[in-house]
């Protein structure tokens, strides 16, 4: 049994490796030296953001140090579970999640649920409802941006990839993993989904527990290089992930022709800030405005490593996922169409060089987003002028999202992460 995840001891920095903070603390070797983070910000972007993109030295030090920070509440819960008996403790957790925490529950279980049942003062439920409605309205476009830009592009950052690789992501069903993530996303974006007994709340707690179990397992694994990677599933990597669902999605939607209002932007930021607070992201890494989120996303990128072999392996596997989808009619043809559509969207966002780094063909054209950009812009703009269409579109968009998710699951049971035997979170 491995020990509870702790902050990694300060590594010795090799020549040419990451810089240290002002206090002499050495950071994981994956980070860029501070001097290389100080590129000038274009004037127009500085005007939009109200500041430089480059981090101050204090911001740099905080982000690099957080590579060694885990999720204290969930890590303590998992410590108790292993001491109590994983199978029995997991059953108590699932019962408390669905039915509420009984008065005679063990104190560690009560303490964890007290921490997630309180609603932070910054949460705006009306704004979250706006974010949910907007996500329903944009239909399949959300899935294209999240899959082909945020997820595919995220594989370029090899620091993210290590925990995935060591839990079997390279040799286990990519299609199933993507579908399970999609189910969590759908649960979180249901109306009231993040309420205490909502589907999104339950799914998020389930994923958070799995993350803590994976962190506990990997931190004691002989092959985990803490001096290079920091703590598995650390605060900065989790923050960057939630910014993919918010900041990256909003920027990607605009680039494929979907206008976003300030109210919609604020709603999306509120929605994912709350969802990822529930997931265990510390409040200091949450951003409620898109402008602030863009800055933080840039700061998290400086802690990442360049593409490596994991980027090409994971990227290639993700690219093949549409070829495993399930359709009622013309399945072979529709699989091929989906495969080429998704490749073209990734090409549009990432470009030839990054496609090749991801193990994808570099000669793909961006035909699908280019052909649909103007019709998409016209359609979403018209919705705002036609009240009848405006009322109907969220239901239509949500139906399209459900249909895409169903094509990923096929006839198998829908659900979020269900660790199989051999996975560190299997109980």
Q: If you average pLDDT over every residue of the chain, what do you get?
A: 90
Q: Supply the pLDDT for residue 386.
A: 80
| Contact predicate 276/120, CB 8 Å | no
* Predicted local confidence at residue 427, as pLDDT: 62
CA distance 139 to 398: 6
225 located within any domain: yes
Question: What pLDDT does 349 receive?
Answer: 98
Letter string b/e over residues 280-316, b meaning 16 or more CB atoms within 10 A of that residue's CB: bbeeebbbbebebbbbbbbbbbbbbbebeebbbbbbe
Does the residue 10 lie in any domain? no
> Residue 275 to residues 182, 218, 371, 411: CA-CA distances in angstroms?
14, 25, 34, 28
Tell me how far apart the alpha carbons of residues 100 and 95 are, in angstroms, rounded to a whole number.
7
pLDDT at 378: 92
Contact 217, 426 (CB under 8 A): no
- Over 90: is that where the pLDDT of 224 sits? yes
- Residue 281 within a domain: yes
Tens of pLDDT, residues 311-321: 999 999 999 99
Please state the three-class secondary structure of 168-216 as a single string. CCCCCCHHHHHHHHHHHHHHHCCCCCCCCCCHHHHHHHHHHHHHHHHHH
| Phi, psi of 18, deg, nearest 5 | -60, 150
DSSP three-state, residue 273: helix
> pLDDT tens-digit profile of 375-386?
999 988 888 788
Cα distance between residue 234 and residue 66, in whole Å: 7
Residues 267, 123: contact at Cβ < 8 Å?
Answer: no
Q: How confident is the model at residue 398 (pLDDT cuts 50, 70, 90)?
A: very high
Helix (H) or strand (E) holding 331: helix 331-357
| pLDDT at residue 307 greater than cutoff 60 | yes
pLDDT of 323: 96
98-120: burial string, b at 16+ Cβ within 10 Å, e else: eeebeeebeebbeebbeebeeee
Q: Is the backbone of residue 71 left (phi > 0), alpha (psi -120 to 50) or beta?
A: beta
Instruction: Find the mean pLDDT for residues 103-130.
Output: 97
> Which segment, 116-130, 158-172, 410-424, is predicted with the most confidence on average?
116-130
pLDDT tens digits, 60-81: 999 999 999 999 999 999 999 9
140 lies in some domain: yes
Highest mean pLDDT among 160-174, 300-314, 336-350: 336-350
Query: How many domains in the chain?
Result: 1
Helices then strands, counting H and E runs in the chain, come out as 20, 0
Q: For residue 7, tell me if it sits in a domain.
A: no
Q: How confident is the model at residue 22 (pLDDT cuts 50, 70, 90)?
A: very low
Lowest model confidence (mean pLDDT) among 174-183, 349-358, 365-374 = 174-183
Residue length of the chain: 427
pLDDT mean over 186-207 = 97
C-alpha–C-alpha distance, residues 295 and 301, integer Å: 10
**Quick one: tokens of 361?**
């063909």
Longest dimension (CA), the chain: 64
Q: Residue 314: its pLDDT value, please?
A: 93
Q: What is the pLDDT of residue 67?
A: 97
Q: Which DSSP string corresponds to 351-372?
A: HHHHHHHTT--TT---HHHHHH
Q: Which residues form the domain of 320?
A: 72-409
pLDDT reported for residue 3: 43
């Amino acid at each position: 049994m491995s020990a509870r995840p702790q902050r990694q001891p300060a590594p010795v920095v090799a020549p040419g490796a990451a810089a240290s903070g002002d206090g002499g603390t050495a950071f994981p070797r994956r980070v860029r030296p501070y001097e290389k983070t100080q590129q000038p910000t274009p004037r127009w972007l500085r005007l939009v953001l109200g500041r430089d993109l480059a981090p101050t030295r204090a911001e740099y030090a905080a982000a690099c140090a957080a590579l060694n920070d885990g999720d204290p509440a969930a890590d303590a819960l998992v410590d108790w579970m292993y001491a109590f008996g994983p199978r029995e403790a997991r059953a108590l957790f699932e019962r408390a999640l669905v039915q509420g925490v009984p008065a005679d529950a063990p104190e560690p279980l009560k303490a964890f649920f007290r921490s997630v049942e309180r609603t932070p003062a910054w949460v705006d439920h009306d704004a979250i409802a706006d974010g949910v409605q907007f996500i329903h309205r944009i239909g399949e476009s959300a899935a294209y941006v999240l899959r082909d830009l945020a997820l595919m592009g995220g594989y370029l950052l090899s620091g993210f990839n290590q925990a995935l690789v060591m839990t079997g992501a390279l040799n286990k069903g990519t299609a199933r993993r993507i579908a399970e993530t999609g189910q969590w996303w759908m649960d979180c974006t249901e109306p009231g989904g993040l309420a205490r007994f909502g589907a999104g709340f339950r799914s998020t707690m389930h994923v958070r527990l799995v993350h803590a179990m994976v962190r506990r397992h990997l931190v004691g694994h002989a092959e985990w290089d803490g001096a290079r990677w920091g703590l598995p599933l650390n605060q900065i990597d989790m923050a960057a992930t939630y910014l993919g669902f918010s900041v990256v999605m909003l920027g990607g939607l605009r680039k494929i022709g979907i206008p976003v209002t300030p109210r919609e932007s604020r709603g999306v930021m509120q929605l994912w800030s709350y969802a990822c607070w529930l997931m265990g992201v510390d409040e200091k890494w949450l951003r409620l405005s898109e402008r602030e989120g863009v800055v933080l996303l840039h700061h998290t990128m400086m802690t990442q490593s360049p593409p490596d072999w994991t980027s090409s392996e994971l990227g290639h596997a993700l690219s093949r996922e549409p070829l495993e989808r399930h359709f009622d009619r013309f399945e072979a043809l529709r699989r091929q169409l989906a495969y080429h559509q998704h490749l073209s969207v990734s090409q549009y966002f990432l470009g030839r060089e990054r496609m090749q780094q991801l193990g994808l063909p570099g000669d793909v054209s961006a035909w699908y987003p280019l052909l649909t950009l103007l019709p998409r812009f016209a359609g979403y703009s018209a919705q705002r002028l036609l009240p009848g269409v405006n009322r109907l579109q969220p239901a239509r968009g949500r139906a399209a999202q459900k249909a895409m998710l169903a094509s990923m699951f096929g006839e198998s049971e829908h659900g979020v992460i269900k660790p199989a035997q051999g996975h560190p979170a299997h109980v």
